[in-house]
């Protein structure tokens, strides 16, 4: 493993650790004030017309984990689950795209030929 690869791996691991700490610990201290859209809806008087979200009864609704009574643990766990799901989806997409770009075994070892440069200009 080259030094560049090692530094990149350390950078990725540090990024995941920071994301997990922010989501698992610091997220509990986020403001509980309404966000901008909710505040404007309240100021303009149409907040009560809002309907519940279709996934409002899901296990991770309202920035917490259903069934966990401790608020601090519930919010932290929801954050960690969110980070893990995001990393899993993004990692899966990344690996899928990487595999799609990998040259097939039949063309391995041959340089890629651009279709435009392969055209013959005359006899």
Question: pLDDT tier at 109 (50, 70, 90 boundaries)?
Answer: low
Distance between CA atoms of residues 96 and 74, nearest Å: 33
Q: Do residues 27 and 39 touch, judged by C-beta distance below 8 A?
A: no
Sign of CA dihedral 58, 60, 63, 65: positive
Residue 24: pLDDT above 80? yes
Joined tokens for residue 112: 């890629």
Query: What pLDDT score was predicted for residue 110?
Result: 54
Domain boundaries, the chain: 1-30+72-102
Residues 49-88: pLDDT tens digits? 888 888 888 888 888 899 999 999 999 999 999 999 999 9
Whole-prediction pTM: 0.68
Please give the DSSP secondary-structure letter assigned to residue 35.
-
Instruction: Kindly tell me if the per-residue pLDDT of 118 is higher than 80.
Output: no
- 8, pLDDT greater than 70: yes
Q: Which residue has the tokens 């009864």?
A: 57
């Amino acid at each position: 493993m080259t030094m560049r690869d090692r530094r990149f791996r350390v950078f990725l691991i540090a990024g995941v650790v920071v994301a997990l700490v922010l989501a698992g610990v610091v997220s509990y201290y986020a403001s509980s004030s309404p966000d901008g859209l909710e505040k404007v809806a309240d100021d303009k008087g149409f907040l009560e017309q809002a309907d519940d979200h279709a996934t409002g009864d899901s296990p991770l609704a309202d920035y917490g984990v259903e069934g966990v009574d401790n608020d601090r643990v519930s919010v932290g766990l929801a954050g960690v689950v969110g980070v893990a799901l995001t990393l899993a989806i993004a990692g899966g997409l990344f690996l899928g795209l990487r595999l799609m770009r990998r040259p097939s075994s039949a063309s391995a070892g041959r340089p890629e030929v651009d279709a435009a440069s392969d055209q013959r200009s005359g006899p």
